[in-house]
């Protein structure tokens, strides 16, 4: 069975030097204390923020032919990580980014962001990604990293999106690329 910390360290290598601090602590790349299993030690999000964070995580990794972020437990992962592995200042980009997205949604769509259509939520995330919201890129990069690591270190991400083979088999240097149907993780 794969250890989530090992998977997390592997996924973080994809982000290079710009790793969101709580992720680095959880992967053992930065100093941190011992963190308990179970529920988050503090409540990071208000109910409205939690609902928006959940909706946006599903927009980053939606359900397709494989389960999406919600099914993989990404929202709970994000809250646990921000509660137990983040310093108070680490939470600021996420909390302020959610507030900016909600404010822009109310301005543009006259609705809270959580109540907008998926296409509108995509447009709001695109504004953040393009830094068209205050501190948008800082929010987007940190949030995207949280969603991706939460997903690809979950059981669903490892076993359904990817195929887990502890020993992936023999080397075949002439294997036709057209026959590759899944990326393997070990």
Using alpha carbons, list the distances in angstroms from residue 15 to 1, 12, 36, 145: 24, 5, 26, 8
174 assigned to some structural domain: no
> What's the predicted TM-score (pTM) here?
0.73
Express each pLDDT in 37-89 by its tens digit.
Answer: 678 878 999 999 999 999 999 999 999 988 999 999 999 999 999 998 888 89
Residue 159 covered by a domain: yes
Does a structural domain hold residue 170?
Answer: no
Residue 53's domain spans which residues? 4-31+48-163
d(CA 149, CA 151): 5
The CA distance from 113 to 37, in Å, is 31
In a domain, 120, yes or no: yes
103 in a structural domain? yes
Residue 145 · residue 19 · CB < 8 Å: yes
Asked if residue 11 belongs to a domain, the reply is yes
Query: Would 108 be classed as within a structural domain?
Result: yes
Taking the alpha carbons at both ends of the chain, their separation in whole angstroms is 10
Residue 66 lies in a domain: yes
| Counted domains in the chain | 1
């Amino acid at each position: 069975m794969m250890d989530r910390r090992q998977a997390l360290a592997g996924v973080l290598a994809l982000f290079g030097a710009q790793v969101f601090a709580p992720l680095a602590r959880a992967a053992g790349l930065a100093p941190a204390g011992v963190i308990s299993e179970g529920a988050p030690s503090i409540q990071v999000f208000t109910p409205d923020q939690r609902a928006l964070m959940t909706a946006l995580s599903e927009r980053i990794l939606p359900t397709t032919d494989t389960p999406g972020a919600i099914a993989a437990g990404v929202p709970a992962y994000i809250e646990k990580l921000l509660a137990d592995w983040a310093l108070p200042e680490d939470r600021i980009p996420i909390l302020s980014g959610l507030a900016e997205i909600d404010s822009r949604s109310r301005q543009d769509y006259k609705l809270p962001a959580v109540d907008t259509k998926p296409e509108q939520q995509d447009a709001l995330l695109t504004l953040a990604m393009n830094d068209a919201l205050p501190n948008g890129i800082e929010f987007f990069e940190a949030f995207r990293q949280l969603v991706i690591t939460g997903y690809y270190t979950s059981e669903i991400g490892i076993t359904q999106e990817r195929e887990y083979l502890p020993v992936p088999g023999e080397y075949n240097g002439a294997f036709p690329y057209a026959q590759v149907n899944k990326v393997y993780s070990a």
